[in-house]
Amino acid sequence: MVAVEQYLKPELASQIKRLDLRAQLVVKGFLQGLHASPFHGFSVEFSEHRRYSHGDDPKDIDWLAYAKTDRYYVKKFESETNLTGYIMMDTSRSMAYTYRQQLTKIDYCICLAAALSYLMLMQQDPIGLVTFDQKIKASIQPKSRRSQFAAILSLLIKLKTGGKTELSGPIRQMMSMLNHRSLIIIMSDLLTDSESSIDAVRMLKHAGHDVIVFHVLDEAEVYFPFQGLVELRDPETDEQIPVNADDIGEEYRENVRKFREEMKTSFSRSRIDYVPLDTSVPYDKALMEYLISRRNRF
């Protein structure tokens, strides 16, 4: 599937091959266990009727139509048509951080993005990729052809982090690129003003798009495993602050808990999927659990 390898340097080709294999293993394991897409059925706007056929879910039979025609019809929803997806990936400087985990936050998101791209293409849905910090840095328009996966992986393994995290500007740019309702998957550490982030993501939802937010933090950013006198550095400004970790640890963890809870509550009110993750949880396990829970809800 990844024919683009032949045009890359050997080290990049090997990275793509590994990422391709990881994505296939995650997605095939998910599909074997569930036999259905987690994305179809999310938006349930009624479109039209069609004749019932073997394999359709009996729950979708329109009994009023049966009473009138003595024939079985099922309601066809817009979600049964191809779904256009975009992955918006935060490539700001803070995404390069890790304390003791093998994967940085950007590495973790790259693995998630590869698996989700593969899943969308397996169900023949167009998928695109947009990278951003304070503005959109690069983009690949959604396509459903097999070569799309190679193009996405090629961009993913060459990503560079830099700049500050911001959502409002990139999302406004993103909205100007959208011609019809789409599935927007945002991957970010959300280390920016929370109110503006929430408002920006809600703009997408209010415009009629389905939105999922993968909020990815490093394990140390969630659990604060430090002890004694340490010097903390802001990854985006390089500002350094000496602190006694024993004095602030409990307060810090409580603030992070409140931060994530605020995001969850605010997004849930707008029917936006919020998925809090940290890099100590294997990305394939985290993704599998989310996909299964989503499919069960719809």
Q: Are residues 142 and 229 in the same domain?
A: yes
Q: Are residues 62 and 164 in the same domain?
A: no
As a dihedral over the C-alpha atoms of residue 123, residue 104, residue 155, residue 157, rounded to 10 degrees, the angle is -100
Q: Are residues 204 and 106 in the same domain?
A: yes
Could you tell me which of 156, 89, 154, 82 has the C-alpha nearest to residue 121? 82
Q: Are residues 93 and 67 in the same domain?
A: no
* Domains of the chain: total: 2
Q: Are residues 60 and 99 in the same domain?
A: no
* Domain encompassing residue 286: 3-34+83-297
Per-residue pLDDT, 298: 61
Q: Are residues 60 and 147 in the same domain?
A: no
Q: Are residues 256 and 212 in the same domain?
A: yes
Give the residue from 24, 59, 79 where a domain finishes.
Answer: 79
Q: Are residues 27 and 128 in the same domain?
A: yes
CA distances to 4, 10, 16, 289 from 7, rounded to whole Å, are 6, 9, 12, 36
Look up residue 88 and give its amino acid: M
Per-residue pLDDT of the chain (298 residues; tens, 9 = 90+): 444 444 334 554 455 566 676 677 766 666 655 545 666 544 444 445 667 666 666 777 777 777 777 777 776 554 445 679 999 999 999 999 999 998 999 999 999 999 999 888 888 889 999 999 999 999 999 999 989 999 999 999 899 999 999 999 999 999 999 988 899 999 999 999 889 999 999 999 999 999 999 999 999 999 999 999 998 888 777 888 899 999 999 999 999 999 999 999 999 999 999 999 999 999 888 888 888 888 777 6
Give, to the nearest 10 degrees, the angle between helix 10-34 and helix 147-156. Answer: 120
CA distances to 90, 98, 131, 244, 272 from 160, rounded to whole Å, are 11, 15, 10, 33, 28
Alpha-carbon 215 to chain mean position: 9
End-to-end alpha-carbon separation of the chain, Å? 31
The pairing of strands 46-51 and 183-188 is unpaired
Grouping H, G, I as helix, E, B as strand and the rest as coil, residue 145 is: coil
Q: Are residues 69 and 205 in the same domain?
A: no
Looking up tokens 């993103």 gives 174
Q: Does residue 67 sit within a domain?
A: yes
Q: Are residues 147 and 64 in the same domain?
A: no
CA distances to 45, 93, 101 from 97, rounded to whole Å, are 41, 8, 10
